[in-house]
């Protein structure tokens, strides 16, 4: 449940870097996405054609503050996005490091506090740091979006232990893996860990066939969710025979 909204499809899809508007439209359909992220900068640059794709998709729009490096810039961008898209949802990014695009935790918490006080429903792009997560929850966020790896890197889940600890530390908070996913198997792994959704863009948009890749990711996310809900077997250090030895014939 994301701010009172229940999603049947737990794959959120970004809309940047696709080879053409037609491919973007087909990829959204192939993914069965219910939520798509939209950059305000792209909306301003491409205007009506892009707006038509977003509207025709039937998806819930999650505007983002991509490219913002300060609290003021992020808050202003969020305010503009709310007016343009008519939604209180905002994916909050406040970048603190130019090379890794790691979020600035101090500016992120400050911006989240301001936006939550203004009635926004904030999806903060953060790291797996538990203290930062707690501060964001205290600021009013009801969702956390930890990275799997740096944006666009395709490295997958670099800190499995940290992400598992985050899931355990925030059992009742919706958690979305955002950034770094490069393959369907990585998205499935995130869902198997108990995360509530994954958000990805580059792995689909830059694939040789974005439409088929979108479909592949959608199936992987569903499989991971089903596996987690069904109950994954625990890992063991030693072998355990699946066929019992009792009752077998003794050959002499």
Residue 149 tokens read as 């790896």
Q: Is 179 annotated as a binding residue?
A: yes
Decide if 55 is catalytic. no
Residues 141, 101 contacting (CB under 8 angstroms): no
Q: Is 201 annotated as a binding residue?
A: yes
Query: Nearest to residue 24, comparing CAs of 60, 4, 3, 54?
Result: 54
Chain centre to alpha carbon of residue 106 = 21
Which position among 55, 91, 135, 206 bears the catalytic label? 91
Residues 18, 210 contacting (CB under 8 angstroms): yes
Give the containing element (helix H, strand E) for 83. helix 71-85
Q: What angle do CA 147, 164, 109 make, to 5 degrees?
A: 45
Query: Nearest to residue 70, comparing CAs of 32, 104, 26, 29?
Result: 104
Q: Is 243 annotated as a binding residue?
A: no
Query: Nearest to residue 200, comparing CAs of 136, 156, 142?
Result: 156
What CA–CA distances, in Å, run from 42 to 49, 57, 172, 209? 11, 17, 34, 22
Q: Is 44 annotated as a binding residue?
A: no
Q: Is 180 annotated as a binding residue?
A: yes
Binding region? 152, 179-180, 201-202
Binding region for 1-deoxy-D-xylulose 5-phosphate? 152, 179-180, 201-202
Residues marked as catalytic: 91
């Amino acid at each position: 449940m994301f701010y009172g909204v229940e999603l049947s499809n737990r794959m959120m899809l970004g809309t940047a870097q696709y080879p053409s508007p037609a491919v973007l439209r087909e990829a959204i359909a192939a993914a069965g996405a219910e939520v798509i992220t939209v950059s305000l900068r792209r909306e301003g640059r491409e205007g009506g054609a892009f707006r038509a794709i977003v509207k025709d998709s039937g998806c819930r729009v999650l505007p983002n503050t991509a490219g913002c490096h300060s609290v003021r810039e992020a808050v202003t961008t969020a305010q503009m996005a709310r007016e343009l898209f008519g939604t209180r949802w905002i994916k909050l990014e406040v970048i603190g490091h130019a090379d890794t695009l790691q979020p600035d935790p101090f500016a992120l918490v400050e911006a989240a506090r301001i936006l939550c006080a203004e009635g926004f429903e904030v999806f903060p792009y953060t790291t797996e740091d538990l203290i930062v997560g707690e501060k964001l929850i205290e600021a009013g966020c009801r969702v956390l979006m930890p990275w799997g790896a740096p944006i666009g890197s395709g490295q997958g889940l670099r800190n499995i232990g940290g992400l598992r600890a985050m899931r355990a530390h925030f059992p009742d908070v919706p958690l979305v893996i955002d950034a770094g996913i490069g393959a369907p198997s990585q998205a499935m792994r995130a869902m198997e860990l108990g995360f509530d959704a994954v958000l990805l863009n580059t792995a689909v948009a830059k694939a040789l066939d974005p439409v088929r890749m979108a479909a592949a990711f959608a199936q992987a996310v569903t499989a991971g969710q089903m596996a987690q809900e069904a109950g994954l077997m625990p890992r063991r250090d030693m072998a355990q025979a699946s066929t019992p030895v009792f009752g077998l014939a003794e050959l002499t």
